[in-house]
Amino acid sequence: MTEERLRSSLSHNSTYHVRGSKVQQLHAVADALNQTSDLDTLEGIDWDNFGFGLRPTDFMFVMKGDLEGNWQKGQLRPFGNLEVSPSAGVLNYGQGVFEGMKAYRTADDRILIFRPEENAMRMINGAERMSMPAPDVDTFVDAVKKTVLANKRWVPPTGKGSLYIRPLLIGTGPILGLAPAPEYTFLIYVSPVGTYFKGGLSPIDLKVETYFHRAAPGGTGGVKTISNYAPVLKTQLMAKGNGYSDVLYLDAIENKYVEEVSSCNIFMVKGKVISTPELAGTILPGITRKSIIQLARSRGYEVNERPVSVDELLAADEVFCTGTAVVVNPVGSITHGTNRVQYNNGAVGRVSQELYEALTTLQMGVSKDEFDWVVELV
């Protein structure tokens, strides 16, 4: 049967009758064929104006395991929906963690990923907090490599963006009482992306949130669990509705110390010293954060990890955010109540620019990797 006839016969509106799960399998094949037919439009993408959004690609990686950590052999399959029980642990009790990574295309057409073992270890730590088994580091990294290579046509041209990589670990086994799910699914999907904030490397405007809090001591703020992100949507939408780019959260005890932005860490510069809130269980240990600290110190900057009050932040010479999605993004202004402070007259600060270039040239294979952070996929 030709591809055209197969696609026609397996369409969801066709009268091709097969019982049971075979129907779902045939529909999956049809979906895959329809999806691959869209690849002809790849060259028509305007990479110069490509924002940060979801664009389905060719393949995803899926692997299942049990509560004891016995994992089946993972496999690549066409990107598509998962079949999950209504009583799945992730749906009923939020049992899930995820990661964010990127792959880059170099000028000589190599594909690079950045510090994948760090993401693997962070997922392991997060899974332990959420009473979940997790793939070991080697399995995680190997799955990432396979997924990126299977979708490498979607890695944007050098300097035009990156392939965002989303590993997920979720409790998919059915459970009614409050307990860990009996089965787990580890999966990875990818999507080409441009810059996270509109305007690329341009300063953003933050609003300090004084009522709602992102995390509290003893909670899960220090791990990348899915349950940490839905609660920030309300305040983020409110802030964006008032013209701000995002929200900056304070500690839940004294409502005085800076913690992080909705999905990224924050740094301040005062004189020749860079400071960032210390990791005390309520702040995500960002891999970009960790890398920027190491890069800055290697360039002679003094970097302090300590409590940073909102008053100190407002008096800083320069402020910037870090994260996989945002990379290094300067902050143009922060509004705390009725007090609005602007930095660098709304322009990109010198330190932000320097560290952004240092990190991105390393990630894209332009500068020498003295830290052994970059992994080339072959």
**pLDDT one-digit tens code per residue, 104-154:** 999 999 999 999 999 999 999 999 999 999 999 999 999 999 999 999 999
What is the distance between the alpha carbons of residues 311 and 335, in angstroms, rounded to a whole number? 11
- Same domain membership, residue 338 and residue 214: yes
Among 173, 193, 213, which residue terminates a domain? 193
- Same domain membership, residue 248 and residue 346: yes
Among 143, 167, 193, which residue terminates a domain? 193
Count of CB atoms within 10 A of residue 160's CB?
Answer: 16
What is the distance between the alpha carbons of residues 178 and 40, in angstroms, rounded to a whole number? 47
Asked if residues 101 and 114 have their Cβ atoms less than 8 Å apart, the reply is yes
| Statement: residue 229 has pLDDT above 60 | yes
Q: What is the mean pLDDT of the chain?
A: 90
Span 30-59, mean pLDDT? 69
Q: Given pLDDT bands bounded at 50, 70 and 90, which one contains residue 200?
A: low
- Same domain membership, residue 156 and residue 265: no
Supply the Cα-derived Rg of the chain in whole angstroms.
22
- Is position 9 within any domain? no
Task: Quick: pLDDT tens for 241-271.
Answer: 999 999 999 999 999 999 999 999 999 999 9
**DSSP assignments along 55-116, one per residue:** ---SEEEEEEEETT--BPPPEEEES-PPP--TTBHHHHH--EEE--EEEEE-TTS-EEEE-H
Q: Lowest mean pLDDT of 5-19, 32-46, 159-173, name the range.
A: 5-19
The pLDDT of residue 197: 60
Asked if residues 42 and 155 have their Cβ atoms less than 8 Å apart, the reply is no
| Statement: residue 43 has pLDDT above 80 | no
- Same domain membership, residue 165 and residue 238: no
- Is position 109 within any domain? yes
The pLDDT of residue 41: 59
The pLDDT of residue 15: 31
Spatial CA neighbour of 324 closest among 290, 349, 282, 280: 290
- Same domain membership, residue 155 and residue 111: yes
- Same domain membership, residue 124 and residue 208: no
The pLDDT of residue 196: 67
| Statement: residue 102 has pLDDT above 90 | yes
Structural domain tally of the chain? 2
| Statement: residue 67 has pLDDT above 50 | yes
Residues 6+ apart with CB under 8 A from 117: 137, 141
The pLDDT of residue 189: 98
- Is position 13 within any domain? no
Q: Which helix (H) or strand (E) holds 313?
A: helix 310-314
**DSSP assignments along 119-171, one per residue:** HHHHHHHHHHHTT-----HHHHHHHHHHHHHHTGGGSPPTTS-EEEEEEEEEE
- Is position 36 within any domain? no
To the query of whether residue 224 is one of the catalytic residues in this protein, the response is yes
Percent of residues, the chain, with pLDDT higher than 70: 88
Among 132, 165, 193, which residue terminates a domain? 193
- Same domain membership, residue 264 and residue 176: no
The pLDDT of residue 68: 97
| Statement: residue 292 has pLDDT above 80 | yes
- Same domain membership, residue 160 and residue 110: yes
CATH number of the domain to which 187 belongs: 3.30.470.10
- Same domain membership, residue 213 and residue 178: no
pTM: 0.87
Most distant pair of Cα atoms in the chain: their distance: 72
What is the distance between the alpha carbons of residues 171 and 251, in angstroms, rounded to a whole number? 30
- Same domain membership, residue 229 and residue 186: no
- Is position 10 within any domain? no
Asked if residues 353 and 327 have their Cβ atoms less than 8 Å apart, the reply is no
Which residue matches tokens 């620019």?
353
The pLDDT of residue 8: 38
CATH number of the domain to which 314 belongs: 3.20.10.10
- Is position 112 within any domain? yes
What is the distance between the alpha carbons of residues 377 and 110, in angstroms, rounded to a whole number? 7
- Same domain membership, residue 349 and residue 211: yes
Q: Lowest mean pLDDT of 27-31, 210-214, 332-336, name the range.
A: 27-31
| Structural domain for 114, as ranges | 47-193
| Statement: residue 352 has pLDDT above 50 | yes
Q: Given pLDDT bands bounded at 50, 70 and 90, which one contains residue 11?
A: very low
The pLDDT of residue 45: 83
- Same domain membership, residue 231 and residue 90: no
Q: Which helix (H) or strand (E) holds 261?
A: strand 258-261
Q: Lowest mean pLDDT of 23-32, 96-105, 326-335, name the range.
A: 23-32
Spatial CA neighbour of 197 closest among 106, 153, 261: 261
- Is position 40 within any domain? no
- Residue from 102, 145, 207, 224 carrying the catalytic annotation: 224
